[in-house]
A and B are shown apart, each in its own frame.
Chain A
Amino acid sequence: MTAGPVAAPLALACVLAAVVYAVGAVRLRTRGDAWPWLRDCVFATGCAAVVWGLAGPVPGGLFTAHTGRHLLVAMAGPALLAMARPLTLVLRLLPPGGARRGLLRVAHSPAAGWLLFPPVAAAVDVGGLWLLYRTDLWAATHRNPLLGGLLELHMLLAGLLFAMAVCRLDPVRGRCGLPLRAVTLLAAGAAHAVLAKSLYVAGPPGTSFAAADLRAGAHLMYYGGDAVEVLLALVLAAQWYAATGRRRARQAAREALPAGAR
């Protein structure tokens, strides 16, 4: 992944999104809404990760640097962005009316429901990764800068789609149980780990990276993927912990009522 024609506008859009989020969160708080500061920090960190991956300096050989950028733009950044509930923030900020209704209609549309069905989102995200590394797509993106730019955009959006589908913190169409989301995370993580290990010995077709570069990149991909996976798993586990606590409190409150009032 090199700086293509899409990288600079995309990085700029990210900076803009960070500013809009921060201003929006401040407006919510002055209005009296509760909006944890942690979410502001998480969103800003996510934007910083994406901008760094798109435009910043990344150490290592060609392939290792590409892996580092990929980790920032397509995995760590989007996971952090999804954790900050951007859709919830926008929906709370928009006044009742056309724009808010339109956004809700998109979020609740059947198409969005399908895309955010965890296995579909995982197939789009990790499937794209397999296509990039195991077909001639990689070589093609280096010949055609526009294609490379579209790839950067796809990586960011697919990463965001996957993180939103698995975490489901924003109000999107359809509810998905924890087991399906956890199994999807497991399958996607395994597919990522297998691809990383296979890259250790054989680089993408049509490329010739130095063996040491390829190995360092594969290591980074494997363990970097682990870090993001643990982050997403923590989100799921925290959701389960909170939901179980609420359910038990409700049950206890019901049992505390006199028998006639139940």
Chain B
Amino acid sequence: MSTSDPLARTAAARRPEPRRSLLVCAVVGAAVMAAVDEIVFHQLLHWHHFYDRSTSGVALLSDGLLHTAELLALVAGFFLYADLRRRGALAPGHAWSGVFLGAGAFQVFDGIVDHKVLRVHQVRYGVDVTPYDWAWNLAGLVLLVIGGVSLARARRAGGRRVS
């Protein structure tokens, strides 16, 4: 066969896919943040409770769904990321902003919906929880801001390259 390897031929036409890079890495970021939450606050510090006695049925169901979805997202995210790498379609700037946006979104969602609206569990027990809640949600906000700024920079850089 005189033509080269078909995969190598498509490699010549490799194009970064910023949108997909952003989305896939946001999934990875959210799932990694969830894993950090589970390992650090549940297992190492024992701040969060496995089961808060005031947990309602709806909260239990949402917690079960979210926890399982996190696990599946972690696996799916890494395989989707590997696929982007394999195709040479990863846009690094968008990917990093995706990681921060995903992590921040999870942190704020966990802090507001899980801790405050559904009251699945609290950040810490036996202390005044207000400063912990502020710290939790502000940390999430900082992650979101970092993600937003890096996304804007990646977009500007991408725009320059195209023009």
8 Å CB contacts to B: which residues of A93-137? none
Residues of B within 8 A of A229 (CB): 68, 71-72
Expressed in whole angstroms, the Cα–Cα distance for A238 and B72 within the complex equals 13
> A1-9, A47-55, A248-256: which one contacts chain B?
A248-256
Q: B1-41 interface mask toward A, CB cutoff 8 Å, 1 = contact, 0 = none?
A: 00100110110000000000000000000000000000000
Q: Find out whether the CB atom of A226 lies under 8 angstroms from the CB atom of B10.
A: no
**A201 to B51, Cβ gap below 8 A?**
yes
Query: How many residues of chain B are within 8 Å of chain A by beta carbon?
Result: 28
A174 proximal to B (CB < 8 A):
no
User: Complex Cα distance A237/B80, Å?
Assistant: 9
Contact check, A233 vs B75: say whether CB atoms are below 8 A apart. yes
In whole Å, how far is B52's beta carbon from the nearest beta carbon of chain A?
10
Please, what's the 1-or-0 string for B128-162, where 1 marks a CB less than 8 Å from any CB in chain A?
00000000000000000000000000000000000
Least CB distance from B114 to A in Å reads 14
Q: Is the CB of A248 within 8 A of B61?
A: no
With contact pairs A197-B50, A245-B86 given, residues A240 and B72 touching in the complex (Cβ less than 8 Å): no
What 0/1 readout, one digit per residue, does chain B (71-87) give for beta carbons within 8 Å of chain A? 11011101100110011
> From residue A180, how far is it (CB to closest CB) to chain B in Å?
14
Q: Which chain B positions have C-beta within 8 A of A192?
A: 64
- Complex: A200 Cα to B53 Cα, angstroms: 10
Q: How far is the CB of B5 from chain A (nearest CB, A)?
A: 9
B residues near A193, Cβ cutoff 8 Å: 63-64, 67-68
Q: How far is the CA of A245 from the CA of B84 in the complex (A)?
A: 11
A256: contacting residue among B6, B61, B63, CB under 8 A? B6
Q: Is there a chain B Cβ closer than 8 Å to A186's Cβ?
A: yes
A182 to B74, CA, bound (A): 13
Cross-chain contact B50 with A230 (CB below 8 angstroms): no
Q: Does A12 contact B (CB under 8 A)?
A: no
Chain A residues at the B interface, C-beta cutoff of 8 Å: 182, 185-186, 189-194, 197-198, 200-201, 215, 218-219, 222, 226, 229-230, 233-234, 236-238, 240-241, 244-245, 248-249, 252-253, 255-256
9 tightest A-B CB contacts, nearest first:
A189-B68, A252-B6, A193-B64, A194-B64, A237-B79, A233-B75, A190-B64, A190-B65, A200-B51
List B residues at the A interface (Cβ < 8 Å): 3, 6-7, 9-10, 50-51, 53, 55, 60-61, 63-65, 67-69, 71-72, 74-76, 78-79, 82-83, 86-87
